[in-house]
Structures are given as C-alpha cells and as structure tokens.
Structure 1
Amino acid sequence: METRIFTGFMKHPSDFSELDAAISRGEIDPFRIVAILGKTEGNGGRNDFSRDLAVEKSRQVLATHLQQDPAVIEDRVLLSFSGGTEGVTTPHYRVFETRGTFPSAPLYESRLAIGRGRTRQFLPEEVGTMTMVEETAQTIRRILEQARIDPHDVHFVHVKGAIPYEWPPKSPRNSMAYSRGASALGVALALGEVNQHDLNDDMILQDYALYSRCASTSSKPGLSYSDIMVLGNSPWWNGNLVITHTVMQDILDAQSVISLFESFGISSSQLYKEAIAQRIHGVFAKAEADPRQSVRGYRHTMLSDDDIDDTRYARCVVSSILAAITGTPAVYVSTRAEHHGPLGGGPVAVILSIS
C-alpha cells in the first residue's frame, strides 16, 4: 500500500481546477482519494464562508469524476478546510490518495500510512465530555488497526469535530472550543499520551498540562459525528514519503522545527533551499496566542487588540516562521489549540520525500 499526495494551489476559494485537471490526466484516481485538507483565504472566524465554498466546490469536482451525488461524497472522502492565510501563507490543498494493496509481509522500512474513520453520532450534551473523548479514542484505535499503524508511529491526527445542531441551545459544552479540546484529548488517550485516570469532564478546557503532541482538531457546527484522519509511518506501506512531528514550546520556537529537519540529516544551512522545499509534501501546525499574555517573559497584545483577532496574529507568526524554515509558503496553520501542546505552543508535522 502506498500513500500519495497531490498539492493544488487556489486562485480563489472555489478554485479546484488543478485537482480537476490532475484527475482528468489520470494522475489521481478519484476512487482512491481518502482526504483533502486545505487553507482558504477567509478570516478563519465563524462567518468565514470560504471554507464552506471550498468544501462545496471540491465535492462537486469529485462527484463529477465519481459520477455520484455530491451529497454522498463526504461519506468516502474527508473534506476539511481551514480559513486564514495571513502573511505569506498561500491558499492551497493537499490531496491524500492510496494505491495498491498491503504486502504479504511487513517491509524493512516504514513509509507514510493513512487511515480514516468516523465516530458515531453525538448528542449535543455529549460534546466536550468524557463520552466524546473516549469515543474519539476508540475510533482512532480502530483506524490504526485497519491501517496497520502502531500508535507509537503516529505523527498527525486530524479531527473535524462534531457540534450537533441544537435549537434552542441547551448544552453549554456543545461549542467549538469544547469539541476541539475533547477531540484532542481523545487523540492523546488513543496514542497513550495521557492516562485514562487523569481525565474527567471537569479537567477539559481547564487542565492544560494534559495535551496531545500529534492532534490537529477543528470543529464544524451542525456536524453530528467527528471525521478523523490519521497519518503515521508503517512497514506495511511503501513509497517514498515519511512523516515526523515536533512540538513548538511557544509561538517563537523555530529551533524545535529546525531540529526536526536535522533528525532527517538536513542541516540548518541546507534549509530554505529549493531542493529541500521540493521534498516537502505537507507542513501542518497548530498555533495559539499564549493566554497568559506573555511570550518568553515579554508582554504580548494579541489578545487585547480590538482591530485584529488573536487567531490571525497567531497564524501569521507561526506560518511565517514555518515558511522561512522550509522555503515554502504552502503551510497549513490552524489556530485555537486547546489541549494541543503546551500553552502558547503547538504540534508541527512535516511530510518529506526521502529521495
């Protein structure tokens, strides 16, 4: 089995002409697409319709090639778009596709592996509770078994978290923040990053000492289930792609990202060069304006600026750091990082070709 990645660039939020052309050329098999993750140029807020526009258009492109009703496309493909391309970030998307079958025996070296699955449908009162944490963890364990990925070899888990429609609103936890936080803790529980006995309803969005180093969770109002994609390395997969991750300890922690590349034998003097940028097939990060309003002992004003939202600041800073290190502005930085890495920091995952 092999994971392949196609990168498309967008002239506007509904521009999937490169995906359409790649499928028409036979470069991508639409029946083997597992997920599409992208960055759109909206504001990333609750009124950011660029994300829904991207989902709708990508769904239509796939429906045309698959000759299926657009309404059922997301049953087979995870479509997830993060708004906000502040600074140098370029609007883009990554198409994850599988080819082939599992070998009869594990291979000598591990390569990029992918799995996808859904939780059951949640009730509004279950969001942001241990029920959501445990169901998320259980679904991830099932994905890992099906994709033949060891939990210790997981480097990135994307969760499009549930927020079931509820009117009139009754459950205060049926919110984007609680959905993200509980989903991240579900990732941490599935991967052994936290212990079950340390988790309970009261610590969610309260005890930020417990977090995942691999999670990247978002939330979708009106979605009744959580849609999950797992990326790791596995000897049951081949190809020339691998994935690794690190955790930025704060919003300025470039050294952790540089050290990640050094673990692949890429020195800091080799970074920024085109040859390295061409080997990068995905950079995914979570960012957050430190709620303590301080970075390395210096006061920051990201949370008190009424003109620019703190999420836009955080995306701009982290994406600029990652673009400067990697030499490519095609970076995926998502904000709001409840239980994603330490306060003010966040996970970073990088997919590289090894040749």
Structure 2
Amino acid sequence: MHVPDGFIDAPVSAATGVVAAAAVAVSLRGARKELDERTAPLAGLVAAFIFAVQMLNFPVAAGTSGHLLGGALAAILVGPCTGVLCVSVVLLMQGVLFADGGLTALGVNITDMALVTVVVAYAVFRGLLKVLPRARRSVTVASFAAALISVPAAACAFTLIYALGGTTDVPLGKVLTAMVGVHVLIGLGEAAITAATVGAVIAVRPDLVYGARGLTAPLKLRVNGELVDAPAAPAAPVAARSPRRVWIAGLVTSLVLAGFVSFYASASPDGLEKVAADQGIDRKAEDHAAKDSPLADYGVKDITDARLSGGLAGVIGVGATVVVGTGVFLVVRRRRTDGAAARVEETA
C-alpha cells in the first residue's frame, strides 16, 4: 500500500507530513517507557523482519497480490509507540534506498501504514484480551483479529486522504469499495503472518512479547480439595534469559526471507497498485526522486542476474534497517536511562 508521488496533492501531503511528524514525536516519548535493555535491540530486529516480509508479496486474487503492512505485528511484539517507529523506519528505508513509496508521500505512508494500522490493531488487540481468557492462546487469537482489521482500516484511511487531496477525479464510492474489497483479502494474509510470528515468539520467550505482559494466569495447585496459587518459580539467571538467541534467529530468518525466498514472491501488482490502475488513480503518478538509486526497485544496479540482484538488495535492506532501527531504539532507551538518572540526582 505504498503511495507513490503524484497520487495526493501537495497541501494534503504536507498536512499528513505534519501528522506523521507529530505521531513520530509522540511515539519517541512513549517508546522510552516501552523499551528496556532487552527489548531495544529486538525492536530494531522487528523493523528488519517487517522489511523482509514486505518483500514477500502473496497472491490474493486474479492479477493482484498483497504484502504485510506490519503495524499490528510491531505493536503487539514491542508496544504501540515503538511499533509506529518500527514501521516508520521501514518506510523511510524503502523510500530512500529502494524508491518504494514516494518521498513527498512519506507523510501519507507513515500516517496510513504506521499510525492507522498500529492504533486500530492495538485497540482491537487490547479490547479482545479484556474478554478472552488470560492465556497465551488468547494473545495469538487477538493478534489474528487485530491484524485482519487493521488492513482494511488502512484502506479506508487512504480513501479518506484521497478524498481530501486526490489528484484525479474518481468517484469515492468506487475507490472505497475496491480498496476495502481487496484489502480484506490481504488482511487475511496479514493476520496469518502476524499470528504465526507472535505465536512463535510467545512459545519460546513470552516475556519478550509486549502484548503478553501480565496476561499469564498463575499456576494453580489443588491442596486439600482447594485450588491455591503455586509458589513462584525462582527467576532465571540474567544470562539464561538473554534475548540473544531470539535476536540471532530472527535476523537469520529475515536475511533468508529477503535474500532467497523473496525471489519467489508474486510479481502481480499489490492492492493499491491494482486499484489505482483499474480506477485511474495513477493518471498523475510521478517518477520517484530516487528512481536512479543503485537499489531502486529492490535490485542492485549493474547486476544482471535477477536472483542475485534481488537477493543482494534484500540482504542490504535488512542489514541497513536493523542497523538504523537498532540505533534509533538504543538512543531512545539511553535517553530514558539518562532521564531517570537525572531525576534520581535531583531527588538526592
């Protein structure tokens, strides 16, 4: 659903840029509370994983494909504020390095794909957890539903933005019907990927899943015919609970997906591209400012072998995203630590 330059006029693009900047600023402050010394590096990995999986377009209908948006996945794994930042980092890397999503439309894309998906998904997720049993399985079920709803919600948000600043004259009813129709199907793929990923992480390290914190029901023992809380197990040593293995496994998975599996992704246009072509939304689309980038269109310039070119571009993208994302989140985490230390000194 990457919006290119030319779909939305300059005033509305600027306005969404302001909205996106405000959302990122608020998220930077909120992420300080969500991140700790273990999860800050994992947040960078989540951004890299989303980048990798977004390269895996899957077919959803005749001549149409879809890909992960990632807002629900990021919000559930690392928190809603950190999730907005994760998807924003991915969109920035895609726009600057790979000419995917317009640079003047960056505010539109962050507002739609980062802000809307995270807010909607996390609201649905938390709402479902309030009525579902307090168990790990409920987290997976809620993840599926949240991801499923977030995608057509983003399609509706795009339609609203188009209504305010679309550069072509297309009936809004047709745009809304087409966008929601295809993105409900894409949402099913998003839901499956999100639930599978959250379920895999929660199976091995539930303590690293932000959305699962405090949800595990206490173990019960039957004593003299009555159920009582079991004694708390001793805390595992810090070294044993290091997320290093999860981080390495996630990075290797991301590199394999982007470097090898992406070659087999569907070549059909994604939901927005298909709707734009069918409805005439793309009549005033503009060339990307970075169209001559060495990595434009997810290929390495001057490498003629398509498999090698695409795979190398994917590996470079994962590496760049994990470095930039991890750097951002470590700085955010450090500012939280420095701020806490400063408050302690003032109190003393």
If the length of structure 2 is used for normalisation, what is the TM-score? 0.27
Q: Which has more helix, going by share of residues?
A: 2
If the length of structure 1 is used for normalisation, what is the TM-score? 0.27
Bigger radius of gyration among the two: 2
Q: Which has the higher contact order (CA 8 A, sep 6+)?
A: 2
Q: Which has more strand, going by share of residues?
A: 1
